Amino acid sequence: MRQTKLIYYLEEDGTVPIIEWLARLPRKANTKRHAYLTWLELEGHELPRPYGDYLRDGIYELRPSLAGVHYRILYFFQGNETVWFPTD
């Protein structure tokens, strides 16, 4: 199976907003988030619930949760291989 390529949005000043947000998460939440991103890379469009879910209009969400806190990460596909993580 071919891996999905993850692409992160880059601001003009060189910052990557989602990476900065992820860096501020608690260590355990960041570990779980990393596992979910790895599954997304491996599964792409086939990533099942509860790990990911289709919302609407081509927007999906990655759904890691820890201790009652839901860390949602929105993303969309471009073709079959690329996942883009937009800013908020």
pLDDT value, residue 1:
54
pLDDT tier for residue 65 given thresholds of 50, 70 and 90 = confident
User: What is the average pLDDT across 45-63?
Assistant: 90
**Alpha-carbon distances, residue 36 vs 15, 61, 63, 69 (angstroms):** 22, 11, 8, 15
How confident is the prediction for the chain on average, in pLDDT?
86
Whether the predicted pLDDT of 27 surpasses 80 = yes
Closest CA to 87 of 4, 11, 5, 6: 11
Structural domains in the chain, CATH included, are 5-85 (3.30.2310)
Name the band, by pLDDT with cuts 50, 70 and 90, for residue 86: low
Percentage, residues of the chain above pLDDT 70: 92
